[in-house]
Amino acid sequence: MGIFSLITGLPGLSGFGSASTAEQVTEGIDASNLTAIVTGGASGIGAETARVLALRGAHVVIAARNMEAANETKKLILESNPAARIDLLKLDLSSLKSVRACANSFNAMNLPLNILINNAGVMFCPYQLSEDGIEMQFATNHLGHFLLTNLLLDKMKSTAKGTGVQGRIVNLSSIAHLHTYEEGIRFDRINEQDGYNDKKAYGQSKLANILHANELSRRLQEDGANIIVNSVHPGLIMTNLMRHSLTLMRVLKVFTYIFWKNVPQGAATTCYAALHPSLKGVTAKYFLDCNEMKPSPLATDETLAKKLWGFSEKLVKLAT
């Protein structure tokens, strides 16, 4: 999948390409026996992902920070699909307390869990620390999802074992993982304001998403769990994620408009990774435009992935 395919929308080996929509890549798929959590499902590609998964019959739990927006999204989904099964949970990924509360709330619902889509995030925000004292982009984009995933793993394992249906975890990364700090992850200076760069900090968090997926995949395979974990780059889409650099992005879009997608196209790779039968057993891969792509050398560094896992465990204080 090169620049020509990106511009023209011509399909790759999967049969899909940059012009494919979430509805198109899931056409004919019956997800009525599946339950999915979509973080950040109140707006943008998260909302479209939730809508399409519900359209295919899945029971969708939208986990979102803005509950007013989440309720509006639920209302819109039900207007177009009255049979949709949608539940809402409060989740602020920048708060480890909120992440734990969300996981507890979901477990109290006594639902199975087949699919976890780690979609929510922040982008290019000015330097700030989360309530737990962690740099905001790393805290929200990586650490919150790292903790949430770990807290829901037992539920996913038991669901996969009890139903025989392979579980799927999808981490939304970005091509921005190529543009990070020189060392990849600033382990010793993760919270330092000195040398902070909002673009590189975002790239660092997106690199962490891929490393997390790869190391989790390795651990699940070692454990014999019937769960696959993959990362995706949704493409360039104008959403609320760009609120901290809206003017810059609008100017950029004028000169690079041929590379941008609309929201239905932006949600396609996520939905493909979450539902498409061709990915059964496919794990620790990185997808762009619904086709497997090779990420950066840092993203496939197993030593770096293991180091990030241990570092993240310490930050969230998980027992190993």
Query: Which residues are the active-site residues?
Result: 196
> What's the token pair of residue 54?
């519900």
Helix locations, 124-226, DSSP H? 136-137, 144-163, 198-223
Angle, helix 302-316 to helix 198-223, in steps of 10 degrees: 100
Neighbouring C-beta atoms of residue 72, cutoff 10 Å: 14
The β-bridge relationship of strands 59-64 and 85-90 is parallel
Say how many Å lie between the first and final Cα of the chain, rounded: 39
Identify the bridge partners of residue 62 per DSSP, sorted by sequence position.
38, 88
Which residues lie closer than 8 Å to 290 by C-beta, 6 or more apart? Answer: 12, 14, 16, 17, 20, 25, 268, 269, 272, 276
On whether the CB atoms of residues 250 and 31 are closer than 8 A, the answer is: no
